[in-house]
Structure formats: C-alpha cells, structure tokens
Structure 1
Amino acid sequence: MNKKQLATVLPAVAMTAVSMVLTVIVVVMWLGDSMPWGVALVVGLGLDGGWLATLAYERRLAAQGDHSTPVTVVGWGFGAVATGVLVAHALGEESPGAWLAVAWLPLAAKALWLVHGLWERTALTPNALNSIRDIQQDARDRAAVARAQLRAEAGTEETRLTAVTEAGARVARVQARTAGNLAGAWSELEAARQGDGTARALTSVTVPVTPASQPTWELPVWGAVESLAALEAAPVLTDEDLDRIVGELLSSSTPPP
C-alpha cells in the first residue's frame, strides 16, 4: 500500500474504530440497567461485528473489481443503526450536546470507506501516470512551439506589410508630383497657344495666305494617331528621259535657268 492509499484508508480506519468503541459504550450504558453488562457488551459487539463483516465483504468485492448492492445497503443499515443508538442515548442525557456531536461518526466512517473505494477504482499505476505526464508535457511543448511560430509569422507579415505600404506611399508621392508637373506644363502650353501675342509672333516669320488671313500655329496635341497611306513608288527614269528633262529646263525662260 503506497502513501496515497494510506492517505485515504487511515482516516476511514480511525473513524471506524472510534465509532465502534462509542457504539459499544453506549449500548452497555443504555442496556446496563435492564440486563447484565456482559449481555449488553455482547449486543454492542454484535452490532459492531455485523458492521465489520459487511465492510470486509465490500472490501473483498472491491479488490476483485466487483460490487454488490445488497451488501452495500446492509452496511449502510448498520451505520444508520449505530448512529440511531448514539442519537437516542444523547437525547436521554441531561446534556445531549456532547453525545450528539459524535453521533454522526458511524455514517462519516462509512462515507470515508466509500471515498477510499472510489479512489481505488480510479487509481492509476505509476507507469500510467508517467505516460500521462509525458503526454501532457508533449502537448504543452507543441502548443508553445505553435505559439512561437505564429508570433514569428505575424511579425514577419507585419514587417512585409509595412515595407509594401511605405513603398506604395513613395510611388504614390512620385506619381502625384509627376502628374502635377505634367499638368503645369500642359497649362503653360495651352496658355501660350491661346495667348494674343502668339499669332502676331508667328505672322512675322510666315507668309500670309491671303491679305486678310492671320496665320496660326497649332501646338502639338497628344491624342490618337491616324495612319497615312503609303506613297506610291516613284517611276524609274531612263537616261533619255533625264536628258530630255534637263534640256527642257535649260531651254525654258520661266523661270530663267
């Protein structure tokens, strides 16, 4: 019997012994006036003997992994009778408080034996307990590793998102500045195109088509581009053709050669 078993069985044994002694004393005191004290002692010992017999039988069945409801009922009956004897004796005394304070001991002893039996049915061997501890420790280790991995992944993801956000912000700022510069340049070009001095400045370097026309110069505009048709291939001239064309140029008077 190991230490854990002693922790549950010793209180049950001690309370059972005290209850039996009290039961014998009360029976002898109670029946001593009406019968010889020896007979009263036998009655008290018989009550305790029945209780011990049922308790021993219950312990034997528990050791075999079995259980008997009738034996349990009889055991609780003996405990109830012992408690009833103590309570009846206490009520007949002038100061029943002290006897009533110990009247519950038989039932308490029976309850302790019940607790010990439950502990025995649920007790595990040292090897099983070691295996359970190993499993629990392994589960705690894996949980700690998983938490550390999640924290590391969260930190990495946070760093990546911060870098991507900063890069996106820089790109957005560059695009904003570029768009502002382009808008300013196009505004200046449009102002120059629509200005009053533009036409006069261009007139001084161009020849008017008609006396009343004011030549204009259109600034280039970005937009859709239309494809032009390909030029037809120039005809191939022979030496006779070239000589004829040169002769006509030399003999012509308008314009003079």
Structure 2
Amino acid sequence: MRAKTVLPAVAMTAVSMVLALAVVVMWLGAAVPWPVALVVGLGIDGGWLATLAYERRLAAQGDHRRAVTAVGWCFGLIATGVLVAHALTAGGAVAAWLAVAWLPVAAKALWLVHGLWEQTALTPAALDAIRGIRQEARDEAAVARARLRAEAATEETRLVAVTQAGARVARTQARTAKTLARAWATLETARSGEDTGRALTCVTSRVTPGVTPRWELPVWGPSEAVAALETAGPALTDAALDGLVDEIRHSQSPALSYRETAARFRAAGHSASEVRLRAAWKRVAAADRGPLGREEQS
C-alpha cells in the first residue's frame, strides 16, 4: 500500500524536475550561456529536492515544520511559474507547454497525500485486529437479529394460540348460555302454566293428605352473597369433651342415648367432629358400666 502512494509522487517529481531543467536551459540559453542556464535549472531542482528530502526526514521522525513545508511549496511554485512563463513566450506551442505546467504543483500534492497516508497507516497486526473486531460485531449483530426474530415468532405463535383458545372459550360460553336460556325458558313456562300446579298437587295429595303444597320453580336471576360462617372457637380437649358428654348424658334419668346426647351437645353451641363425639360418648358409657361392662364389651 505504501508503494501505491509514494511511486506516483516520485515519478511526477522526477518528470517535473526534468521539465523545469529543460525549460530553464531552453528559455535562458538564448540570453545567457547555457552553463549558466544549466546551473539555474539545477539550483531550482536541487533546492526542491533538498527541501523534499528534509520534509521526508521530519515525517519519518513524526515531526513537522511549517517553514520547511513553505519553502518546498515555494520551489514547486517557482518551477510551475517557469513552465507557465515559457509557455506564454513559446509562440505557437503555448497550449502544449501549459498542459505540463501543472506537474510541479501536482507532485507536491501527491507528496502531501502520501504524508497523510503515513499519518493514518496501521500495521498488519492492527488491521487484522480491526477486521476481527468488525467481524465479531457483525456476528453478534446477526445473532441478535436472529434471536429477536425467533422471539418475535414465538410471541406471535403464543398470541395466536391464546387468541384461538379464547375464541373457543367464548364459543363454548355462548353455547352454554343459549342452552341455559332455553332450559330456564322451559322452567318458566312450566312454572307459569295453569295445569302445572294441579298436576303436582294431584301427585302429592296422596302422600300428604290435607296439605296443599305451593309449587314454585327456581327463578334465574342475580344471586345474593351468603354471610361467612363465624370462626369456631378453640377445639375441645378429650378430657373437656368427656366431661361435657358425661354431663349431658346424665342430665336426666335414664341416661340419654348417643343421638339425644349429640343433639343437646350441638344445641348448647359446642363444636366437635362426629368421630370425636362418638368416641367420647363410648368412653363415658364404658366408664358407667364399670369393669363388668368392659369385660362384656371385650
């Protein structure tokens, strides 16, 4: 890559120096001896070349001097001015000499481009690292795009499934509502019919003589919330339960049966499961019978 910028600058500089030397020798050779013209041409080219070499040395050291750059541009402009002046005084070949008069300025511009390239040039290792970083960034971007597309497809599938399930639920609810509406309409027709009450009374009069029941079918309407049950008190221990059962059982003579005891126990506001209450009643009854009762029970 270095040769792509330095070779054109070297070639154009060499051509510009040769043209400047030839023009000075031809232009001044008619007025002064040709050795003098040759010295003038070599002086211009030598000063230009020396200034260019100094600029390249400073650039290799990472330095820059504006004065040296200005002197180099002055020599380039002098060479260009010589070419333009010769072209204007050359008679019929003016256009041909003007066509090459820009070469010294172009050579200086190419050296400027080469200097800028050197300031921004990177080593092969750095370029490889940059290529690796850019490739890694492209890979990560591609993976991120693929992940986003996959997530979008998954979310779309989920939404479609949820929508279809919701539609099925809505259709089922609509069919159920229609079925319930028809059922309640049938019940309402049966309830408001004139012969419904007589038919039901005829059926039940033999079971409940002298009683005329009032038949009312349920009405489909808003329901009322049922009050929550009060929280029961702490559970009774076995000893306390045995004491209550014994007290209720012997509240009258003869002793109450289990059904009567259980009914009075719950009527008094006590709470116990059926299994515990029956076990307590058995323990109290066994204690009343004594050892003989236990032997008979065994």
TM bracket, shorter-chain basis: 0.7 to 0.9
Q: Paired residue for 2:50?
A: 53
State the distance in 2 between where 1:225 and 1:75 align.
103
Distance 1:218 1:237, change over 3 A: farther
Q: Paired residue for 1:142?
A: 140
Aligned counterparts, 1:115-134, within 5 A: 115-134=113-132
CA deviation after TM superposition for structure 1 residue 33, in Å: 1.3
Q: What is the TM-score of this pair, normalised by structure 1? A: 0.79
Q: Paired residue for 1:5?
A: 2
One-letter amino acid of the structure 1 residue matched with residue 119 of structure 2: R
Distance 1:205 1:238, change over 3 A: farther
- Among 208, 214, 219, the alignment partner of 2:217 is 219
Q: Does the 8 Å CA contact 2:188/2:219 hold for their aligned counterparts?
A: no
Distance 1:150 1:226, change over 3 A: closer
Q: Does the 8 Å CA contact 1:27/1:41 hold for their aligned counterparts?
A: yes
CA deviation after TM superposition for structure 1 residue 197, in Å: 3.4
SS of aligned partner of 1:67: coil
CA deviation after TM superposition for structure 1 residue 158, in Å: 1.9
**Structure 1 stretches of at least 4 aligned residues deviating more than 6 Å after TM superposition:** 236-239
Q: Does the 8 Å CA contact 2:5/2:110 hold for their aligned counterparts?
A: yes
Segment drifting more, 141-150 vs 171-180: 141-150
One-letter amino acid of the structure 1 residue matched with residue 68 of structure 2: V
Q: Does the 8 Å CA contact 2:20/2:79 hold for their aligned counterparts?
A: yes
- For the pair 1:64 / 2:91, whether they are aligned, the reply is no
Q: Paired residue for 1:190?
A: 188
State the distance in 1 between where 2:55 and 2:47 align.
12
Aligned counterparts, 1:29-48, within 5 A: 29-48=26-45
State the distance in 1 between where 2:97 and 2:226 align.
121
Q: What is the TM-score of this pair, normalised by structure 2? A: 0.69
Residue by residue over 1:165-208, the C-alpha shift from the partner in whole angstroms, topping out at 9 and shown as x without a partner, is 2111111111111111111111111122223433454565577x
State the distance in 1 between where 2:127 and 2:252 align.
113
Q: Does the 8 Å CA contact 1:202/1:216 hold for their aligned counterparts?
A: no
- For the pair 1:152 / 2:159, whether they are aligned, the reply is no
- For the pair 1:17 / 2:14, whether they are aligned, the reply is yes
RMSD over aligned Cα, in angstroms?
Answer: 2.3
CA deviation after TM superposition for structure 1 residue 215, in Å: 8.0
> Could you say which structure has the greater relative contact order, defined with CA pairs below 8 angstroms and 6 or more residues apart?
1
SS of aligned partner of 1:119: helix
SS of aligned partner of 2:215: coil
Distance 1:158 1:225, change over 3 A: closer
One-letter amino acid of the structure 1 residue matched with residue 7 of structure 2: L
Between the aligned residues of both structures, percent identity stands at 72
SS of aligned partner of 2:217: coil
State the distance in 2 between where 1:36 and 1:172 align.
113
